[in-house]
Amino acid sequence: MNNPLVQVDPGLYIWTILTFLVLLTLLAKFAWRPLLQSLAAREETIRKSLADAEKARVELERLNQQSEAIIRQARVEGEQIIGASRADAERLRGELREKARAEADGIIKNAERQIQLETARALQQIRNEAADLSVAIASKLIKKNITREDNDKLIQEALSQLSVSKN
């Protein structure tokens, strides 16, 4: 046991245990426990942040889809509205045209009837006046003492007139 490599040294043994235990106590108190706690807290933070980010991503995705659906719907609706209004306009124009035509026809018919009416009335009036005139002439003729020659002359005149009017 003279070889210093294998010399039993209880003092060194005890010093090692003491040194190590003191170091362990000090490090555990001042370094390891606070550090491990901080690391665990940070891991928790990271895990939560990741979960939050994932949640936000999913939410964003959802919102994106939602807004896309809304836009799509709006586009469809817009097209529908445009189509409907085009059809409406078409229909309205047709209706207006029909109405205008109908009105024009009415006006024309009215005017024609009016003309006919007026014409008829004018003819009636002329007829009446001619009758009155004939009566007046006739009465004048009757009142006057007409001679034979005169009578003939009148007849002749009337006849000529008739023939003229016949022509």
Partner 1 sequence: MLAQEHATEHAAAGKFDAGETIIEHVSNSSIDHPLIHLPKVFGIDLSVTKHVFMLWLVAAIVFVLVTTIVRRYLKSGRQVPTGPMNALEAIVTWVRDDIVQPNVGKKWVGTWTPLILTFFIFILCSNAIGLIPLFEVVALLDRAILHSSPDSFLGRVIHGGTTATANFNVTAALATITFGAIIVAGSKAHGFVKHWMNLVPHGLAWPIYILLIPIEIMGLFVRPFALTMRLAANMTGGHIAILAILSFVFLFAEMFGSALAGVGVGLVVSVPLAVGISTLEIIVVLVQAYVFTLLTAVFIGMAINVHH
For partner 1, which is the closer residue by CB, 43 or 77? 43
Residue 51 C-beta: closest distance to partner 1, Å? 17
Burial (0-12, 13-18, 19+ Cβ within 10 Å), 108: exposed
User: What distances in angstroms separate CA 93 from CA 80, 83, 119, 130, one per listed residue?
Assistant: 20, 15, 38, 54
Angle, alpha carbons 86-91-93 (nearest 5°): 95
**CA distance linking residue 20 with residue 32, whole number of Å:** 15
33 neighbors 26 (Cβ within 8 angstroms): no
For partner 1, which is the closer residue by CB, 35 or 155? 35
Which residue ranges make up the site for partner 1 (CB under 8 A)?
3-17, 19-24, 26-28, 30-36, 38-39, 41-42, 45
Q: Give, for 100, the enclosing helix (H) or strand (E).
A: helix 33-143
Residue 35 C-beta: closest distance to partner 1, Å? 5
For partner 1, which is the closer residue by CB, 12 or 159? 12
Residue 31 C-beta: closest distance to partner 1, Å? 4
For partner 1, which is the closer residue by CB, 3 or 163? 3
Residue 78 C-beta: closest distance to partner 1, Å? 51
3-class DSSP assignment, residue 76: helix
